[in-house]
Structure 1
Amino acid sequence: MHKILILTASIGSGHIKAAEAIETELRRLLPDAEITTVDFMARRISRIHWFMKEFYLAMLAFVPNLYDVFYKLSGGSSGGTLVQNAFAWIMMPVMKRLVRRYEPDLVLCTHPFPEGAASLLRRRQQESYRLATVMTDYSLHQIWLYPAVDRYYMATEEMRMGMISHGFAVNTLEVPGIPVASVLQEMKDKATVRRALAIPEGQPAVLLMGGGLGLGGIESNLRDLEEIEARLTILVVAGRNQRLMERVQDMADASHHQVLVWGYTDQVHFLMRAADLLITKPGALTISEAFVLGLPMLLHDPIPGPETENAIYATQHGAAVWLHPREDLARSVRKLLDGDSLAAMSRAAVSCARPDAAPSIAEDLKDLLLRRS
């Protein structure tokens, strides 16, 4: 019986969603396998990891470019290796404990922190497990690049070519896209979903999201949308931010729009299907899901670093408009809803979609395991 350990990180929801999508496909392909998914940054796994995550999230509110600082520190060939190795050494003892507990034949990582620790442990202890990494970005960065990784799965051909230029073996590099849940391809038609939400026929629906952490200026966006005279349905996902949810609900009660509010929910795909436009921060998984659903995006406030690159990717491919600081949100939304650009953006989004990424990755992982056997 094969044993598979999937390691993710609860820093935002994208890494977890990618892990869940692949786990679902692996269970379908390998029904007898023992598959365990672990949040590498959870308190029950490591108080040190958990504290590092909580400190980072708390600091992010005061220093929005904190990730950019780390991103740049880990970007140089020498400095990057130094920063990466420091994190890997700190986290290796926890990785060693997990490997001893689960005895995996395969370790799959959807975040660079567990990847680095698994790579270092494999090299230092001559561990025999296969190691694979799903890169949840639309740009290549040193933070993901480690030796002793059997397979890298990435979003674009440009990323693959970049890794080849870094000296990575061609046979370790695959470009399936970023994995999303298979349920996206099974969604009911838009009209049925809108009726279920009691959205009046012909009334535009706008979805506001800020990721699982409820970031991204949702309150200010909601205030800006009040300037639009025509009545909208505004679907708001506040994530795990309970205080934000309460404030948004108060705003909803006073709005002239139809405003529906959710906290952290597993119904995001349902809401995305109902929407005509998504206003969000450019997280890679959110963008990937919108591509599959053909949902046009208005992107804003990227966390400097990978989210900026995600925004560039989506806008360059015609699936999104990037709202820069001091640009008028209400004016941009009004222009999109009144014109005919949403249809073209929807087609562009679908052309970027990789709905079969998760099944493709699972198939390749199965081959890796069988070759090991």
Structure 2
Amino acid sequence: MRTLILSVSAGGGHVKAAEAIELYVKLDNPENEVMLVDTIKYINPILDKVVIGGYLKSLKFSPFLFGKLYDLAENGESIANFSNKVNEIIIHKLIPLIEDYAPDVIVTTHPFSTEMISILKGKGKIHIPVAAILTDYAPHSFWIHPNIDAYIVSTEEMVDEMVRRGVERAILHPLGIPVIPGFTKVFPREETLESLGLNPQKPTVLLMGGSLGMGKITALYEELQQTETDLQIIVITGSNHKLFSRLSDEKNTCIKHTRIIGYTTEVNRYMQACDLLITKPGGLTITEALICGVPLALFSAIPGQEEKNAEFLIKNHLAVDLGDGKYCRNIIDSLLSSSDRLMEMKNNCSKFAKPNSGYAIKKLLYSLIKES
């Protein structure tokens, strides 16, 4: 099987899902070949800097504006039509790539690459089965295009919502968002905490802001210092080096025992060791937390998709909402003092976790090739 995976590096989730599928396709079958392409960067590196750079800046400096653009794209046709026209202009650069690699199946993990392939199929330029993996817990109109052979979504509830938006039920597969093979490996809590010099008998809070270390993590860390609960803290700062340095300095004068961790490939290890995860509600982070069975407290949801993710979590009693994190100490104290509520949230995780998503998606890709 030759698989072409088209992603876009707008945030870590789309790329992580693509990398997970790459590993699963190669797993147990060395003859399988995979090419993973950062689509916009491949087409035009300058365009990538403009589009992706602008996207990341809007998330950091103007999340309200980003939310407004999200709503316009969801409810109106102007932005969608503009996106379609831009893709019409640039997609021809993908044709030589696809012809030279000659994949048996194409996987997309971002709306832009999904739309590009939809256009190419609609024009009759390619005749290859395509599977799109939605990397959140609610759909958006930007994802929905004709000529897609399979949509892989997170939950059964998303299937119904996609059907209401006009997608055929037969091509919807609630297989979940894939995480890398081995993510389900069990790490004993005591060993992890002792290796960090922390006390396994104390409540442990994990604070993180996604791969970019975004959100008001410093303010939240200061709030945690004011909690009445005798807790200890692990902070993962991701690729945010300034945040790592700032918190590393700050923790030396703080009351609560703290360990600061930068970019890590062992998120599952730290999730399994904590009693509560305080995080932004990104799709991949949610997926990982559900698999690890850790209750969630959410902060600084980006207007749009992350807000929709938060709605899903709160509605299903998987998380509490901390808003922007101000004055959240009482919410955290209340939650950590309620063992019954924490256990309910942990048990609810198992209802939505899909730890075998990668294997199921690989099986689906084989079936798409067989049917084509």
Same fold at TM > 0.5: yes
User: Quick check: 1:227 aligned with 2:231?
Assistant: no
Q: Map Cα deviations across residues 292-345 of structure 1 (whole Å, 9 max, x no partner).
A: 111001001110111111111111111110112475221111111122221221
The equivalent residue for 1:290 is: 289
User: Partner letter of residue 152 of structure 1?
Assistant: Y
Q: How far 1:29 moved relative to its partner?
A: 5.4
Give the 3 Å change call, closer, same or farther, for CA 45–150 of structure 1 in structure 2: same
TM-score by length of 1: 0.93
| Residue correspondence of structure 1 range 79-228 to structure 2 within 5 A | 79=78, 81-228=80-227
Q: Secondary structure at the match of 1:65?
A: helix
Paired amino acid for 1:124: K
C-alpha distance in 2, partners of 1:359/1:114? 23
Change (3 A) 1:117 1:202: same
Which blocks of at least 5 consecutive residues in structure 1 are unaligned?
none
| Greater mean alpha carbon deviation, residues 181-190 or residues 314-323 | 181-190
Q: CA deviation at 1:101?
A: 4.2
Work out whether residues 10 and 55 of structure 2, in 8 Å CA contact, stay in contact via their aligned partners in 1. Answer: no
Q: Which amino acid aligns with 2:345?
A: M
Residue aligning to 1:60 = 59
Could you tell me how far apart the structure 2 residues matched to 1:43 and 1:66 are? 28
1:357 Cα shift? 1.5
Does the CA-based 8 Å contact 1:182-1:355 persist in structure 2?
no
For residues 172 and 243 of structure 2, what CA distance do their matches in structure 1 show? 41
Aligned partner of residue 281 in structure 2, secondary structure: coil
Contact kept? 2:223, 2:326, Cα under 8 Å: no
Counterpart position of 1:33:
32
**Alpha-carbon spacing, 1:166–1:17, altered in 2? closer, same or farther (3 Å):** same
What is the deviation of 1:210? 0.7
8 Å Cα contact 2:154-2:176 kept in structure 1: yes
3-state DSSP class of the match of 1:182? Answer: coil
- Mapping 1:271-290, distance limit 5 Å: 271-290=270-289
Which secondary structure does the structure 2 equivalent of 1:257 belong to? coil
Number of matched pairs: 371
Give 1:171 shift: 2.3
Per-residue deviation at 1:193?
A: 2.4
Shift of 1:138: 1.0
Per-residue CA deviation, residues 76-135 of structure 1 (Å, 9 max, x unaligned), is 363354144134225414433432442322110111111111111222242122211001
Evaluate the alpha carbon distance shift between residue 307 and residue 84 of structure 1 in structure 2; reply closer, same or farther with a 3 A threshold: same
1:356 aligns to 2:356 (yes or no): yes
Aligned to 1:370: 370
Q: Which residue of 2 aligns with 1:346?
A: 346
Matched AA of 1:357: S
Check the 8 A contact 1:45/1:94 in 2, yes or no. Answer: no
- RMSD after superposition: 2.1
Deviates more, 1:339-348 or 1:109-118: 339-348
| 1:206, distance to aligned residue in structure 2 (A) | 0.8
| Inter-partner Cα distance in structure 1 for 2:247 and 2:90 | 38
Deviations 1:220-271 (A, max 9, x none): 1111111125543211111111111111111112212221112222121111
Distance change in 2, residues 1:325/1:185 (3 Å): closer
C-alpha separation between the residues in 2 aligned to 1:52 and 1:78?
Answer: 20
TM-score (norm 2): 0.93
Aligned to 1:69: 68
How many angstroms does 1:20 deviate by? 2.0
Identity between Structure 1 and Structure 2 (%): 32
For the structure 1 residues 92 and 272, does the alpha-carbon distance in structure 2 shift closer, same or farther, using more than 3 Å as the test? same
Aligned AA (2:218): E
> Where does the alignment leave 5 or more consecutive residues of structure 2 unmatched?
none
Q: Is the 8 A contact 2:216 2:324 kept in 1?
A: no
The residue that corresponds to 1:246 in the other structure is 245
4+ long deviations beyond 6 Å: none
Shift, 1:180, TM fit: 2.2
SS of residue in 1 equivalent to 2:349 = helix
Q: Secondary structure at the match of 1:236?
A: strand
How many angstroms apart in 2 are the aligned matches of 1:326 and 1:201? 26
Q: How far apart in 2 are the matches of 1:267 and 1:48?
A: 33
